[in-house]
Amino acid sequence: MQSDNCKAKSEESEEEMVRHHGTESRGAMTFVPVGLNVQKFQLSPLSCTCRRFYVQICMLLVIVVLLVLIRTISNVRVMFEEYHTASDTDGELVVLPQRFAQSRSAFCLDGSAPGYYIRYGQFPGNTNWIIYLSPGAWCSTPAECYNRSFTAVGSSVIAPIFFPFTGILSASEEENPDFYRWNMVKVLYCDGGSFLGNRPEPLVHQGKSLYLRGSQVFTAIIDYLQINTNFGAAEKVILAGSSSGGLAALINVDNLRKKLVSVKSIHALLDGMLFVDSQNIYGKHTMQETLKNVYHLHKIADAPAIQECTSSLTSSIGYRCLDPTYFYNYLFTPVFLISSLHDSWYINHALAITCPLRKCPPQDVIVIDQYKSAIVRALQPVKQSVHDGLFITSCPVHTLLLTKWFSHQAVSVNNVTLHQALSQWYNHQHPAKYIEDRQFSETLHTCKTVTY
């Protein structure tokens, strides 16, 4: 009962207070009864709680992610545009599917699938093809093949996505007026045996299996092009090659003709591949020994492209079929031969002359002159041919087909550039036998603009 009375008095006191406070609020001053727990409203300071900290971090991360995505999309677009532009003028890498390569036992030295660079042609040249076999010397010992298997001349794994197409492969009308609209293929050289290796089982060196299957690589590339491009309906085909690739083109071109029965015309361009037998400064036949070792190591004797030649010789001298001047006697396809009477690679590697060419001692110059005489003799059958062409410079260069000298006046014979001579030969406008027979000392003065 007492508690009820207290409760009633308390409610009356609160009503009176509210009534009194409402009346005073209309005045100038506000009356705050003493004893009531009423506080003035204040802004609380910002507190750095863990939850707020996490929220801020998350917001920051979202912003960073968005910026990265925007930049990535922008870069992808730029990269696509750059690659698209490159693919219009350069060759884009195509690696054969592993299953396709395995079905043909076609492998690079390291066991990876072979490949090629391609740029498709434009009308009216889109039914014509140039197949170019890349240079890169050879591996003539297991150790050399092992070392090559870790490089771009022994594996397709580390090959660049694009390769600049210049010279005979160029898409520039000014640089390559006769063929710039053609389909262009540059075959990746990864077998170390001029696309002629025919070793049935892998060669094991330092625990690594090495595949010397160049003949199968070449066949697989041609098969794949026939199946997956319009190469099977080609009208004109040129098989070209430089250095070791030039030797490969020489020996493979007739065999290629047998596969392309519907093609109207097939020709070969052989660049920097006159590996004649000549003694070096020590009296050794280094070039002959190298080709002999390649022949046996890669078991080339029974390769389909060379078998007609090797079957006519005893096994002890079958390696002579890798001598281009000897194999030329078995050739049927018309060829255009490009070389130097003073091949810079041959002088350095086969003749073992490493002195600066302008400062070589007289005894070295004598060896160079002997080598030049050997080339002149080797060219006699080509000079007499009514189908084959020649462009022989005296300038000390090695290859010309993919270099700036392809259409440059600095390396010309009788004021005719290489591409002009090639055009005359291919279009049957001229016999196209151009030979610049100058002495070595004279050449060093007339070829000043050429790097050697």
Q: Which two tokens stand for residue 203?
A: 């060669």
Q: Is the pLDDT of residue 274 over 90?
A: yes
SS3 annotation, 317-347: HHHHHHCHHHHHHHCCCCEEEEEECCCHHHH
At 45 the pLDDT is 52
| Predicted confidence (pLDDT) per residue in 211-265, tens digit | 999 999 999 999 999 999 999 999 999 999 999 999 999 999 999 999 999 999 9
Point out which residues pair with 185 in neighbouring strands: 118, 131
Q: Is the pLDDT of residue 159 over 50?
A: yes
Domain ranges of the chain: 58-89, 92-446
Q: What is the mean pLDDT of residues 80-92?
A: 61
From residue 162, alpha-carbon distances to 37, 181, 189 in Å are 82, 19, 15
For CA atoms 55, 59, 64, 69, give the dihedral sign: positive
* Bond from prior residue into 124 cis (ω within 30 degrees of 0): yes
At 31 the pLDDT is 45
| Predicted confidence (pLDDT) per residue in 407-425, tens digit | 888 888 999 999 999 999 9
At 452 the pLDDT is 43
Q: Which two tokens stand for residue 27?
A: 């005045």
SS3 category, 344 = helix
Q: Which two tokens stand for residue 165?
A: 């197409």
SS3 category, 131 = strand
Q: Is the pLDDT of residue 67 over 90?
A: no
At 49 the pLDDT is 62
pLDDT band, residue 7 (cuts 50/70/90): very low
Q: Which two tokens stand for residue 71?
A: 């930049």
Q: Does domain 92-446 have CATH number 1.10.287?
A: no
Secondary structure element (H or E) that encloses residue 244, with its range? helix 244-259
Angle at 444 between CA 443 and CA 446, to 5 degrees: 60
Q: What is the mean pLDDT of residues 326-351?
A: 96
